[in-house]
Amino acid sequence: MSPTTQGVIVLVITLAVLLSGAPVAFGLGAISIAFILLFQGFDALHVVAETIYGGLHDFTLVSIPMFVMMGAAIGSSPAGRDLYEALDRWLYRVPGGLVISNLGACALFAALTGSSPACCAAIGKMGIPEMRRRGYPDDIATGSICAGGTLGILIPPSITFILYGIATETSIGRLFLAGVLPGLMLTGLFMLWTLFIIWKRGFRAHPAHFRYSWKQKFQSVPKIAPFLAIIIGVMYVLYGGVATPSEAAGVGAALCLVFAVLIYRMWRPLQWWVILRDTTRESVMILMIIAAAVLFGYMLTSLYLTQTLAQAIADAHVNRWVLMAMINLFLLVCGFFIPPAAIILMTAPILYPIIKAAGFDPVWFGVILTINMEIGLIHPPVGLNIYIVSSIAPDVPVTRIMWGTIPYVVCMMLAIVILCVFPEIATWLPDHMMGSAH
């Protein structure tokens, strides 16, 4: 059987299993073992355990539960409320200022959690009811939170970047730095769109029930200080040459736990149990997907499917930008049906040699891939953030929330175009701080 025929069979069955609703880790693992047995026989079965062990025997993976714990500790605390209230005090008089406050809070929260669902839930619980109370349309109130939550996987520390770095052996430190400016740019695009649509509709939010004095505004600043301290602390130990990404994640987790105890008095056993339970659940899920994806990658390589695809694209002599457009379209479609972690671990090892051969920077491509994953988070049918927001505002129809996210999807697509035209937005900071990788 030719590699092309094998590839078609693998693709069809993989899509069928993933679209069936089966857990990604079990689905990928079962497919991989089945095809290894089918095409290589039982003699190759011993490599299953070796491949999984080799894929998980990586010190970098320690950073995943640590960053997840950061998000769990901050997400379980009233931190989202404090961020929201502090920014609202400074921006409440600006037209659309409450939405801008929520987007700014999402950006700051993203720099603490590295998780989109945690960011969306923490800010949405405070922001959506308040925006609706002040008269903001439901599509703006819910759509802005859905979009702001996606910043959790772009602004470092990002679990998505960690997975991409592990899958392609790209420097995680460079990926973190590469996400900073695009993350700020995307936040700015979200804010500009919000201001435009509010101006276009002639909408004026209902005024707050009281005015904030300068004293009250400055009293809110200490509420943001702990978050800035954590962000600066993690970035310093990581880029100051003090620690590796895994060790920096440990520092961040420790700081978050300390702040949770000292500032928010989260010392009760039940509160710690919630943090540890959520950390364990998400970490185990991610690590199981990694194990299954490593085995899936071995299966593709052993059947020469990856090499055949790369060679076919090279022989076709496709223009590199046409190729990039095709890759973006492919990732966009995948994001409609498959969770981001699974997409990255399944596709990154396949796409990496292709984009390298086409002359693209792997760090830059990591940012492009992540923005595509962000689109999937606010686009049905997967659209995880849509359903999180729907649980916060159950009386708002899901279709109304979806319509509210469409302009922000356009903003993300525009960000991809801007990064293609000006790749230095992603590559300048890592090259400046860590030296050129070329």
Q: CA triplet 224, 225, 230: central angle to 5 degrees?
A: 105
| Integer Cα distance of 230 and 409 in angstroms | 30
- The radius of gyration of the chain from alpha carbons, rounded to an integer in Å, stands at 22
Using a 10 angstrom Cβ sphere, with 0-12 exposed, 13-18 middle and 19 or more buried, the burial of residue 48 is middle
SS3 203: coil
pLDDT of residue 420: 94
| Integer Cα distance of 224 and 217 in angstroms | 12
**Cis peptide bond upstream of 381, omega within 30:** yes
pLDDT of residue 413: 95
Instruction: Indicate the residue type of 264.
Output: Y
pLDDT of residue 205: 55
Judge whether 77 and 264 are in contact, CB under 8 Å.
Answer: yes
| Integer Cα distance of 357 and 338 in angstroms | 27
pLDDT of residue 98: 79
Block residue for tokens 């671990």: 345
Per residue in 196-217, is it b (16+ CB within 10 Å) or e — as a string?
ebbeeeeeebeeeeeeeeeeee
pLDDT values of the chain reduced to their tens digit, one per residue, 438 residues? 676 777 778 878 887 887 777 787 888 888 888 888 887 778 777 888 888 888 788 777 888 888 888 878 877 777 767 777 777 777 767 777 778 888 888 888 888 777 788 788 878 887 888 888 878 888 888 999 999 989 988 988 888 898 899 888 888 889 999 999 999 999 999 999 988 888 887 766 555 555 777 777 788 778 778 877 888 888 788 777 777 778 888 888 888 888 888 888 888 888 889 889 988 988 888 888 888 888 888 887 777 776 677 777 767 778 889 999 999 998 888 887 778 888 888 888 888 988 988 889 999 999 999 999 999 888 877 688 888 888 888 888 888 888 989 999 999 999 999 999 999 999 999 998 877 665
Contacts of 123 (CB under 8 A, 6+ apart): 80, 83, 84, 102, 105, 106, 109, 145, 148, 149
pLDDT of residue 301: 78
Tokens of 3: 């590699």
Domain chopping of the chain, boundaries: 26-434
CB count, 10 Å around CB of 243?
16
Contacts of 3 (CB under 8 A, 6+ apart): 303, 304, 305, 308
| Integer Cα distance of 427 and 170 in angstroms | 13
Closest CA to 257 of 94, 121, 430, 71: 71
| Integer Cα distance of 32 and 306 in angstroms | 14
pLDDT of residue 157: 81
Judge whether 321 and 420 are in contact, CB under 8 Å.
Answer: yes
**Cis peptide bond upstream of 222, omega within 30:** no
pTM: 0.84
Using a 10 angstrom Cβ sphere, with 0-12 exposed, 13-18 middle and 19 or more buried, the burial of residue 20 is exposed
